[in-house]
Amino acid sequence: MMYLNNAATTYPKPQCVTDAHTAALSAPPAGQFRSSGQGRVKDVFTGCRENLGRLLGIGSPERIYFTSGATDSLNQLFHGMERKGKKILVTQTEHNSVLRPLYNGMAAGAEVEILSCDKYGQVSPEVFEERISPETGLLVLNHCSNVTGMIQDAARFGEIAEKHGILFMLDASQSAGCIPVDCDGWHVDALVFTGHKGLFGPQGTGGFFLRKGVGMRPYRYGGTGRDSSRLVYGDGDYEYETGTQNGHGIQALGAGVEYILDRGVERIAEAEKRLMGILYDGLSEIQGVTVYGEKGRNLGPVLSMNLKGLRPSELAYILQNGYETVVRAGFHCAPLIHQAMGTEEQGTVRVSISALTEEQEVLQFLEILREIAAAAEN
Amino acid sequence: MNILEIIPSRERCAEAGWHAYDFILEHPMDDDFIKSMRPLGSFLYMQMLKKPFFKIESEHYLLKGIRGDEFFRMAVHGDYLDEIKHVENMILNG
């Protein structure tokens, strides 16, 4: 089986992740703030937070909060995070994990405005600046498109948001672990990540970072293992990790983050860029293939394509059932970007790699596609 | 050909807005069976492939499958779910 659906969930995981998960399930559970402690040995939660801080450029890792993933994080943030105005600017590239909470009232009283992207998925920081009004309170930016692999200039967006006093939320679900992220340097107020993609953690892990001074009402209350006699929180004095945490998952996520730090995210980004270059070059030579991006322009580890004569779902079906090759077909839970790409009727086939994808797999995929394209042409 | 079961497909997102069902068959599909479904709609058969793929397209549904498999998939628009019965009858009655 060849797996090229890493933008959904990475597979395989590094061996250290599997080992950490197994070890966590085989050992007495780690309860955050709830046990007698182990002296100087760092607990898995703190260790994971610190490593995430190193990887994502967060100097105050204690302000990273674990959740079940990016969707959970975004719902919590939209529900309770302060906004400096009622208008929220979001990009056309956003995933439904952003769009659906906003369009279904999770951010009460907010007005949502869409910042358009071009056909490659690129959003202009200058257009963002032009669209700022006194009512604008928050910018939500999808760092790397899960459809076209376009990476936005987060540093420039952050600079503009900072200049105008607008809060800046960065969705790093698709970029964390794949390309360098500099949360502090880019003036990010809230950063969202998921564990099961480029960070190589298990599904059901993820979290968010919230900058000190940015207020947020919790989405839920409950046991936290700390200060149990207190029943009412003072205004602003909240806790965000309630209930028993996914300790097993966080231990495995921690191993994934360590793997990336050991290998080096810059080196991973280079390796993925090289493989994507092979993919772009190879696809451009196949008759009937349309690629919705360009080598050297769309730099993330994911691309979208279509083949003349077949719907995306048909090509994915042939790949899956005829060649045991897993890709994804459709809209990829990001419906608005397809209007810019011209694929709003049927979507695309998405091909995505990870730091563990091998060149041989990319070459084999191209070979398979040549065969299918030749058959589709006849 | 006998149909053992018609089950909702796992491939829901790919058929954006449509419902998808898998027809589980008693035997693997061969050339004769695939070609016998030709009256159900416009017919594409990619026989050159290592595992030949077919699709049959009508206004309200789409069938697709691979020769040798013991199932094929039907995507049908939500307003025309009665077409499932039509396809089922066509297969059962040849």
The alpha carbon of residue A369 is apart from the nearest alpha carbon of chain B, in Å, by 11
Specify the residue for token string 């993330």. A300
Query: For residue range B16-72, what is the model confidence (pLDDT) as tens digits?
Result: 567 889 999 999 999 999 999 999 999 999 999 999 999 999 999 999 999 999 999
The ipTM of this complex is 0.89
pLDDT at position A37 over 70: no
A371 touching chain B per CB within 8 A: yes
**Residues sharing a CB contact under 8 Å with residue A3, sequence separation 6 or more, in sequence order:** A11, A12, A326
The order of strands in the sheet holding A302-307 is A289-291, A302-307, A348-352, A328-330
What is the largest distance, in Å, between two alpha-carbon atoms of chain A?
74
Specify whether the CB–CB gap between A210 and A216 falls below 8 A: yes
Contact (CB<8Å) A372/B50: no
- Model pLDDT for residues A52-108, shown as the tens digit of each residue: 999 999 999 999 999 999 999 999 999 999 987 899 999 999 999 999 999 999 999
| CA distance linking residue A95 with residue A146, whole number of Å | 8
- C-alpha angle A182/A183/A185, rounded to 5°? 65
The most confident of A81-85, A207-211, B10-14, by mean pLDDT: A207-211
CA-based nearest distance A5→chain B, Å: 14
Between the alpha carbon of residue A366 and those of residues A2, A326, A360, A373, the distances in Å are: 12, 14, 10, 10
CA nearest A144: which of A6, A325, A307, A311? A6
Identify the sign of the CA torsion A100, A105, A108, A113: positive
Which helix (H) or strand (E) segment holds residue A294: the answer is none
Q: Please state, in angstroms and rounded to a whole number, the distance separating the CA atoms of residues A66 and A49.
A: 9
Closest Cα in chain B, distance from residue A330 (Å): 5
Average pLDDT (A22-49) is 76
DSSP 8-state class, residue B57: E
In chain B, residues with a C-beta closer than 8 Å to the C-beta of A321 are: 51, 66, 69
Taking an 8 Å cut-off on Cβ atoms, the answer to whether B16 and A330 are in contact is yes
Q: Which residue of A has its CA nearest to B67?
A: A322
Residues of chain B with C-beta less than 8 angstroms from the C-beta of A313: 11, 14-15, 75
Taking the CA atoms of chain A, what radius of gyration do you get in angstroms? 21
Residues A107, A101: Cα–Cα separation, whole Å: 7
Q: What is the dihedral of CA A367, A368, A373, A375, to 10 degrees?
A: 120
Predicted confidence band at A161 (pLDDT cuts at 50, 70, 90)?
Answer: very high
Intervals of CATH 3.40.640.10 along chain A = 15-263
User: How far, CA to CA in Å, does A84 sit from each of A88, A117, A138, A189?
Assistant: 10, 25, 7, 12
- pLDDT tens-digit profile of A115-145? 999 999 999 999 999 999 999 999 999 999 9
| Interface membership of A38 toward B (CB under 8 Å) | no
> The domain A2-7+265-377: what is its CATH number?
3.90.1150.10
pLDDT of the residue at B77: 85
Residue contacts between A and B (CB atoms, under 8 Å): 56
What is A15-263's CATH number?
3.40.640.10
CB atoms within 10 A of CB B83: 17
Boundaries of CATH 3.90.1150.10 in chain A? 2-7+265-377
Q: Say yes or no: A374 contacts chain B, CB-CB below 8 A.
A: yes
Q: State the nearest Cα–Cα gap between B64 and chain A, in angstroms.
A: 7
Please answer yes or no on whether A375 and B49 come within 8 Å at the CB atom: yes
Q: Is residue B80 very low, low, confident or very high in pLDDT (cuts 50, 70, 90)?
A: confident
Q: What is the pTM of this model?
A: 0.94
